[in-house]
Structure 1
Amino acid sequence: MPAASPDVHALVLAAGYGRRFGADKRQARLPDGTPLLAASLARAARCFARVSVVLRPEDDPEGLGVPDGMGIVRCAEAARGMGHSLAAGARALADADGVALAVLLGDMPWLADATLVALAARAQARRIVFPRYQGERGHPVLFGRAFWPALANLKGDNGARALLQAHPEACLDLAVDDPGVLQDVDAPADLGAG
């Protein structure tokens, strides 16, 4: 699978605490033995030429399976919610080249490569692109460069939901045949979902 458009930088959010899971789910094992975060990062690296991951300040990237050479963003306010992690990533990449930022979640390892490539192909500077599976909006969401400053100012635990609601004219949903866009890991039982 060739890398997606070099104009899209992937940002994997992995600084959350996964309190509902009961342990650090980033190191939980999928049925094939691969750690959850490592599987999600490998998928992103296959599909995007440039990938960065948002971690907590105290995290050991090697221990979490972050490949050498992958960009690392530390989020001091990770405990305050996903909005803070996303903002930290957007600030860190503010001067990076690229037309769009693909925001992936570190607990979604079952995304199809073809879905990521198709989303990246539709990225534009003034567009927000996301997948839709059987009528339901999924992840990842690709934010055109015009929205990066707004991402850099997010707070709280709602991520960028308000940004999508404020800019319906910029939103493009892509129907995909990929249940992986809806499958995340919230509890140990979810590890076998893929």
Structure 2
Amino acid sequence: MISCILLAAGKSSRFGSPKPLAPLGPKTVIEHIQERLLLTGLSEIIIVLGHKAESIAPFIYKGPRVKSIVNTDYALGQTSSFKAGLNAVSPYSEGIMLLPVDMPAIQPDTIEELTHIFIKRAPLILVPSYQGHNGHPPVFSKRLKEELLCMENDEPLSTLIHKHEAEILKIPVDDPGVTASFNTPEELQLLIRQIS
């Protein structure tokens, strides 16, 4: 079983308003991502809220595979939100996928491909790449859970990824969405054109 932690806790300072609530077609970014994730075989989707959690919560889907938690320490850094999500992951999960909310262009087929490869090959870390560039979502083995939980809240996850560079399974995918994120309204408009 593979769990996905969807990070939606940040302040979105450069965007100017909460990224999860940005319009993407007729829905919000967070609704769009949830719909895509629910098309896959992921066992659970854990959405980590923080900044403006009360405004975002009504857009969280109800269902057995989706749950949300609030990281009150979200201002300490993205790793603090990932750790909050890790603490909510099922003990039966073999792998933990990490997806930031500002990457809504990833295709469900890509998530499925990464999930199947992870289950089949059981690497320590799986990382998708597009045209030679590493992207999201990485998938971490449950063997790394304690090490991840011991990271400092403001320590970038790339530190741990570099530490285990030799044990990373890199998977080339035909999906530009794995490297496409947005930080400004203009970048979101570019992504919308890419998704359309």
User: Are 1:119 and 2:109 counterparts?
Assistant: no
Query: Cα offset for 1:45?
Result: 1.9
Aligned partner of 1:22 among 16, 22, 27 = 16
Q: How many residue pairs get matched?
A: 185
TM-score (norm 2): 0.87
Alignment-derived partner of residue 81 in structure 1: 77
State the shift of 1:116 in Å.
0.7
Partners of 1:110 and 1:33 lie apart in 2 by: 15
**Counterpart residue identity of residue 75, structure 2:** A
Task: Tell me whether 1:99 sits opposite 2:94 in the alignment.
Answer: yes
Task: Give the aligned residue type for 1:37.
Answer: I
Task: Give the 5 Å matches for 1:144-183.
Answer: 144-183=141-180
TM-score by length of 1: 0.88
Match of 1:129 in 2: 126
Q: Which residue pairs with 1:4 in the alignment? A: none
CA separation in 2, counterparts of 1:42 and 1:17? 23
Kept after mapping to 1: 8 A contact 2:11/2:51? no
Stretches (4+) displaced over 2 A: 60-63, 153-159
**Residues 100-134 of structure 1 deviation map (CA, whole Å, 9 limit, x = unaligned):** 00111111111011111111112255520011001
Query: Identity across aligned pairs (percent)?
Result: 26
Preserved CA contact (<8 Å) 1:127 1:144: yes
Question: 2:14 & 2:147 partners in 1: Cα distance?
Answer: 29
SS at match of 2:105: coil
Q: Distance in 2 between the 1:103 and 1:165 partners? A: 16
Q: 2:39 aligns with which of 30, 33, 46?
A: 46
SS in 2 for 1:92: coil
2:55 aligned with 1:33:
no
Q: Deviations over 1:5-59 (max 9, x none)?
A: xx111110110111111111211102x2221111112212221231110011761
Equivalent residue letter for 1:25: K
Shift of 1:155: 2.9
* Contact kept? 2:123, 2:169, Cα under 8 Å: no
Higher helix fraction (1 or 2): 2
CA RMSD of aligned residues (A): 1.7
